[in-house]
Amino acid sequence: MNYDKLMDKIKRIHFIGIGGSGMCPLAEILRSEGFELSGSDMNEGETLDRIKSYGIPVYMGHNAENIDGAELVVYSAAIKENNPERMAAKEQGIPCIERSVMLGIVTRRYKRSIAVSGTHGKTTTTGMLSQILIGSGFDPSAIIGGKLPFIGGNSYVGHSDIIVCEACEYVDTFLQLNPFISIILNIDADHLDYFKNLDNIKKSFNKFSKQTTGLLIINGDDENTLDAVKDIEINKLSFGFSENCDYRAVNVSADKGVHEQFDLYFKGEKLTSIKLIVPGKHNIYNALAAAATAHYLGATPNEISENLHKFGGVHRRFEILGTPCGITVADDFAHHPTELTATLTAAMNMGFKKVWAVFQPHTFSRTAILLDDFAEALKIPDVAVISEILPVREVNTYNIYSTDIGAKVPNSVCLDTFEEITDYVCKNAKEGDLILTMGGGNVYMCANMICKQLKFIEDGQE
């Protein structure tokens, strides 16, 4: 079925799992286009409150009658085939599509769609680019994988022909997209439970690149990216530090190890100087990708510089939660060795007395396959505290445990529960230290527990 043409014939769409972070932005955009929406979810939350505020009917719980009147049903990846609403749609002959398919449909309705791909940095770069474009008056729509304080959420409904979104490679979901501009930040060995090896990942990015209709913006310093796109014939622009890159960071320095500063050059000529307030070399790459894209679209060097300087990060990307007892508590989404290395290296250069990394391994397969790489990354901080592995969608057929990482990391501690971790770090961390929770799961809950307990101590309640 041609779902793009179907959208021109229907009016009513039902979302199963409408409160999900990936579903809510699509619902907001489709509502702005005049579609009648309804939705269902199992849990209350901030995004669901936002949906309800628009007057969209939302049913708590999943029941067959919830889809009554729908001409198309959209479901999130977490919704199984035996879900009663999916089953009812099938029985009634109502078209039913997964969220990534709808993302492809929505983005194709924009003349200038921009997809941000790469193993690492997608959410931050999407946030940076969205902030530049919104702050410069381009009025784009945006779908971001984390909350961007600048817009107060993870989505923005604009009124131009530009949309910015993330393009996730896991299970090849980004192959549902046909962007006008595709950004490839980097390509690394990840999601090996699906891809099996790096060559398959590069082949997938090659397919994604071939579905791009206008321009590829690529990391010119990343060999895997260059290899993946070497046969792609559409226009390309590169970014990086090396002289062969179109957009370059030159005269790089750091203010007290925190604020990255550099001059932005385009084809050998200086455009502007940029000072970031988010730390780390990896964020220079993210800023270069966002700057290159914005410049291509017509943003001025001054607009790029001003808006990048204002960018303070997105939710769960080195997010500072508080400084109780003079101890900085932060949380980060890093869950791959490359991400851990980048973030922890930045943290160690920020002038803290001691850096405590609280890491929650994410999936048995990733932990087993990248065990030695995780161990090397966790040697960077002063102390590594490692929780149990979060299984996510897997069973432990790999016979892998967090203690296997800990055995390879000096000055590490393995504790099973967030309660144990909270007690340990709150007892041992001192004023001037950084406690950084890291992982792709629910370790942010541990960060909140640490903040709360330190605040009790600060207030003299313990």
d(CA 327, CA 433): 5
- Of the candidates 279, 310, 341, which is a domain's last residue? 310
Q: What percent of the chain is predicted at pLDDT more than 70?
A: 99
Closest CA to 391 of 434, 429, 445, 439: 439
Q: For the sheet containing 412-414, what is the strand order?
A: 319-322, 328-332, 434-438, 355-359, 383-386, 412-414
Give me the pLDDT at residue 257, please: 52
Examine the domain organization and report whether 126 and 143 are in the same domain. yes
Is 122 tagged catalytic? Answer: yes
Closest CA to 389 of 397, 398, 400: 400
Give me the pLDDT at residue 405, please: 96
| Catalytic site residue from 28, 85, 107, 122 | 122
Burial, 316: exposed, middle or buried (Cβ in 10 Å; 0-12, 13-18, 19+)? buried
State which residues form the domain around 278: 110-310
| Catalytic site residue from 28, 85, 119, 166 | 166
Examine the domain organization and report whether 229 and 261 are in the same domain. yes
Residue 257, domain member (yes or no): yes
Examine the domain organization and report whether 374 and 418 are in the same domain. yes
Is 202 tagged catalytic? Answer: no
Examine the domain organization and report whether 215 and 174 are in the same domain. yes
Examine the domain organization and report whether 325 and 290 are in the same domain. no
Q: What is the H or E stretch that residue 285 is in?
A: helix 281-297
In this structure, of 1-10, 12-21, 172-181, 452-461, the range with the lowest mean pLDDT score is 452-461
CATH number for the domain that contains residue 349: 3.90.190.20
Closest CA to 307 of 325, 295, 320, 316: 295
Residue 213, domain member (yes or no): yes
CATH number for the domain that contains residue 120: 3.40.1190.10
Give me the pLDDT at residue 176, please: 95
| Catalytic site residue from 47, 107, 119, 123 | 123
Tens-digit pLDDT profile for residues 169-205: 988 999 999 999 999 999 988 777 788 899 999 999 9
Examine the domain organization and report whether 286 and 359 are in the same domain. no
- Name the amino acid, one letter, at 84: P
Band of residue 149 on the pLDDT scale cut at 50, 70, 90: confident
Examine the domain organization and report whether 276 and 134 are in the same domain. yes
Tens-digit pLDDT profile for residues 392-433: 878 999 999 999 999 999 989 999 999 999 999 999 999 999
Query: What average pLDDT does this structure show over 120-149?
Result: 93
Band of residue 339 on the pLDDT scale cut at 50, 70, 90: confident
Residue 397, domain member (yes or no): yes
CATH number for the domain that contains residue 11: 3.40.50.720
- Of the candidates 310, 337, 363, which is a domain's last residue? 310
Is 230 tagged catalytic? Answer: no
Examine the domain organization and report whether 372 and 304 are in the same domain. no
Residue 144, domain member (yes or no): yes
- Of the candidates 288, 310, 332, which is a domain's last residue? 310
Tens-digit pLDDT profile for residues 215-233: 999 999 999 999 999 999 9
d(CA 15, CA 285): 36
User: pTM to 2 decimals?
Assistant: 0.81
Tens-digit pLDDT profile for residues 274-294: 999 888 888 999 999 999 999
Examine the domain organization and report whether 295 and 208 are in the same domain. yes
pLDDT of 373 above 80: yes
Band of residue 23 on the pLDDT scale cut at 50, 70, 90: very high
Assigned token pair, 288? 């270069």
What is the domain count for the chain?
A: 3
